[in-house]
Chain A
Amino acid sequence: MILQVQEVSKRFGGLQALLDVNFELAEGQIMGLIGPNGAGKTTLFNVINGVYPPTEGQVIFRGEKITGLPSYEVARRGLARAHQVVRPLNDLTVRENVMVGACFGRERHSRSSAASLADQALTQVGLIDRADQFALSLNVAQKKRLELARALAARPYLLLLDEVLAGLNPSEIAGMMETIRTIRDQGFTILMIEHIMQAVMSISDQIIVLDYGQLIAGGNPQEVANNPKVIEAYLGDPEMTARLLAE
């Protein structure tokens, strides 16, 4: 198991953001993390990669306890992340942005070898012809690709992707899905938050569902899609709906 999340809870004052979350992720898989807005998905990512420590529970990455380590220590151990709200380093060029990932990620490259690694990652996400532009000048779809390239250049064991498809148009989504598949085929393990159901169902090996901070379901996409609890979380109680419609 590359990642084990054990009984993780996170409380912000009176708000229970996560409650007793347990799951495991095997190497080489794509796991989708879904759930309604405000379910705690991004919070779970923040706890896993050390943006803040969990109130209770453990996070184990490649057999090592990383609970409570600062995020730069987690990154160094081979866990990279693409943010939901894109956060490019605006005053740096696209290449320099990606070089930060390569220089400070798992392999800690020197500046010169980071540059070639960055170009490799940029080619992979289709952004190489923008390498010398400032990150500020990219559009949203390109910034999403930049986030992905930055995470890739760190050569992580595990990639956390937070809604990399959000805000893209259908053809951009198809392109991005293709990119994610090729990344998986290179042996990266991926944990991704995604709202676009069709996409996450077709790409994931495993799906877990978070609702009000608790895991309510897990399994392969088929099982999850037919799980009544999941349908309820997304659409409301089906029996109640049927009754209301009958009246």
Chain B
Amino acid sequence: MNLWRQPGFWPSFLLVFLSGLVVLVLRQDTLRETAFTVLMFIGLASSLNILMGYTGYVNFGHIVFFGLGGYFGFFLVSEMGWPVYLAALGGGVLSSILAYIIGAAVLRLRGAYFALATIGVNEAARAFVSNFEPFGGSTGLYVNFSAYDRYGGAGQALWFTFILLWLVVLAVIVVSYLVKRSRFGLGLSAIREDEDTAMVMGVNAPLDKTKAFLISAFFPGLIGTLYFFKNGNVEPDDAFRFQMSLEILVMVMLGGKGLLLGPIVGAFAYERLRGYLLTSVIFKNLHLATSGLVLLLIVLFVPGGGVGWLRERFPKLRRWLE
């Protein structure tokens, strides 16, 4: 398949590509920080989408891979002195290995039982890391300032990290699209719709959903390493925020689950909404309640999310809005 000839691929890819490019051209620090957050959520939401949207397994513990992968990557940078891009890869690989182990246990469950189990995994991971001395226990780890020298000082390191994140998120988009349009992706859709029937039709469901879980978990590990490296420290309460898992889930639902463009639009929209809520006088203490309400309204009235709604409303746009 020639990726460059696919109309469904371009809107998503260009959106992410251009939003990174604008930041690099303007070179403003505040804009970079905002863009970092948005891109990070696009990456997290899109990778969650591979499991949740394509395969139909709602994962409340996606942030575990961000946290544990990020912790491990950060450990490689701060304690082992690895360059950040290699450390990020290490974090991603560790996340996938963890997904394999966790998946062996929880992927046997379906529907609400799977979702409940993933909540437990998040809490277990936080408890584990809080007591794991090599990762600094409950105080976490700090990066030695000299680690930034390799990239020409702290200021340069932040730009370097931003570019890495941008590339990782572009990779998430490419991989998401390739998975969606492949035979493997068709099998995942079949699993989502009816797992038993899919198996009767020849889909190796246990293997395919494990693969989807591994791919879905790989990117949060990369992104986590970059995020903590940018922050300069990592601690359990920052790495395993259950609230963040929920927010990623809302983004996927808001934009449209199972669609390439969905999580991207969802992440943009949610970040705008959150920015507004956090600064408004009335809502600043209620922003999580509001996102809960948003989720409720979407599930009730627009189950396909924003992009899904557009697809339904304007069938002619469908080939562009995959």
Contacts and interface: CB of A to CB of B under 8 A. Distances in A.
Interface of A: 49, 51, 70-72, 75-76, 80-81, 83, 87, 89-92, 96, 99-101, 103-106, 108, 110-111, 114, 150, 154
A154 B203 CA distance: 12
A114 B183 CA distance: 9
28 contacts: A71-B196, A71-B199, A72-B199, A72-B200, A72-B201, A72-B202, A72-B203, A72-B205, A75-B202, A87-B197, A89-B189, A89-B194, A89-B197, A89-B198, A91-B189, A91-B193, A92-B193, A96-B186, A100-B186, A100-B189, A103-B183, A103-B202, A104-B183, A104-B187, A104-B190, A106-B202, A108-B202, A114-B183
Contacts of A76: 202
A105 B205 CA distance: 14
B146 interface: no
Q: Which 5 A-B pairs have the closest CB atoms?
A: A104-B202, A75-B202, A89-B193, A87-B197, A71-B199
Nearest to B198: A100
A226 B196 CA distance: 39
B183 A75 contact: no
B189 A96 contact: yes
B181 A105 contact: no
Contacts of A49: 200
Q: Which residue, A87, A100, A108, has most C-beta atoms of chain B within 10 A?
A: A100
A75 B253 CA distance: 34
B186 A99 contact: yes
B204 interface: yes
Contact of A111 (B186, B197, B203): B186
A104 B197 contact: no
B204 A72 contact: yes
A110 B192 contact: no
Contact of A75 (B192, B200, B258): B200
Contacts of A81: 200
A187 to B, nearest CB: 20
A241 B196 CA distance: 44
Contacts of B193: 89-92
A91 B205 CA distance: 18
Contact of B181 (A92, A106, A111): A111
B182 interface: yes
A100 B203 contact: yes
B201 A104 contact: yes
Q: Which residue, A81, A90, A104, A106, has most C-beta atoms of chain B within 10 A?
A: A104
Interface residues of B, number: 21
A152 to B, nearest CB: 12
B202 A154 contact: yes
Nearest to A136: B193
A70 B203 CA distance: 10
Q: Which residue, A80, A87, A89, A105, has most C-beta atoms of chain B within 10 A?
A: A89
Given A90-B193, A91-B192, A92-B193, A150 B201 contact: yes
Nearest to B258: A91
A100 B181 contact: no
Contact of B183 (A87, A106, A110): A110
A89 B72 CA distance: 40
Given A103-B187, A110-B183, A83 B197 contact: yes
Contacts of A51: 196, 200
A49 B197 CA distance: 12
A202 to B, nearest CB: 28
Contacts of A92: 189-190, 193
A101 B199 CA distance: 10
A86 to B, nearest CB: 10
B286 to A, nearest CB: 34
Contacts of B196: 51, 71, 87
Interface in B163-215: 181-183, 186-187, 189-190, 192-194, 196-205
Contacts of B189: 89, 91-92, 96, 100
Contacts of A91: 189, 192-193, 258
Contacts of B182: 111
Nearest to B196: A51
Given A72-B202, A72-B204, 13 more contacts: A51-B200, A71-B196, A72-B201, A87-B197, A89-B190, A89-B197, A91-B192, A91-B258, A96-B189, A103-B187, A104-B202, A104-B203, A154-B201
Given A91-B192, A91-B193, A105 B202 contact: yes
A76 B207 CA distance: 15
A218 B196 CA distance: 31
Contacts of B190: 89, 92, 100, 104
Nearest to B192: A91
A71 B182 CA distance: 22
A106 B201 CA distance: 10
Contacts of A90: 193
B248 to A, nearest CB: 22
Contacts of B183: 103-104, 110-111, 114
